[in-house]
Amino acid sequence: MTTESVEPSRTRDLGRRAIPLVVVNFVLCLALVAQFLLGMVANLFVTVPTHHPGANASDYYAGVVASMAWLIPHGEPWLVAHAVVGLVLVVAAIVNLVWMLRLRSALYATASILGALATLGAGFNGASFVIYGFDSSSMIMSGLWALAMCCYLVCLLVAARRGVRAKA
């Protein structure tokens, strides 16, 4: 076997492996845009009650669980949608982390890990806002949203470039 006969099949295989990564990162970016819009609506038109299960919890993690358990079935619809999309984003970020092994790219791996951490951090700051009501939690959440968006755009470009290169 010569290297010419091996390389094209490896290249095609790389292209096939890149397709799900392009899709998951495109979905992540679209979900982040939806999350941004839902967050703006929630910020402008929803008031989180000061007294609810988990409010002002002395144990942060117990407060997160109690607040989310209250929020999902009983919260304002815009805030519920914002929380649910946030949970979907965390799951998609984890899927992206698992699939990053397919591409074997240091840049993709770095952006994927950083994006997942930013997504998780934004989620915890969102929960912190619901629990304690500090505006700084909302500000941190928006900064982490921007970082996550940049990371997933990098992942999308790297995966798409690998897929296009494999087809050429």
104: left (phi over 0), alpha (psi -120 to 50) or beta: left
Write down the pLDDT at residue 17: 72
The string of pLDDT tens digits covering residues 31-84 is: 999 999 999 999 999 999 999 999 999 999 999 999 999 999 999 999 999 999
The domain in which residue 37 lies consists of 3-167
Total structural domains within the chain? 1
CB 148 within 8 A of CB 118: yes
The HSE-up count of residue 14 (CA atoms within 13 Å, CB side) is 20
Structure pTM?
0.85
Residue 11 has pLDDT above 60, yes or no: no
The tokens for 166 are 């494999």
Direct distance between the N- and C-terminal alpha carbons of the chain, in angstroms, rounded to an integer: 22
Write down the pLDDT at residue 16: 72
Residue 166 has pLDDT above 80, yes or no: no
The tokens for 70 are 């209250």
Phi then psi for 53, rounded to 5 degrees?
A: -55, 125
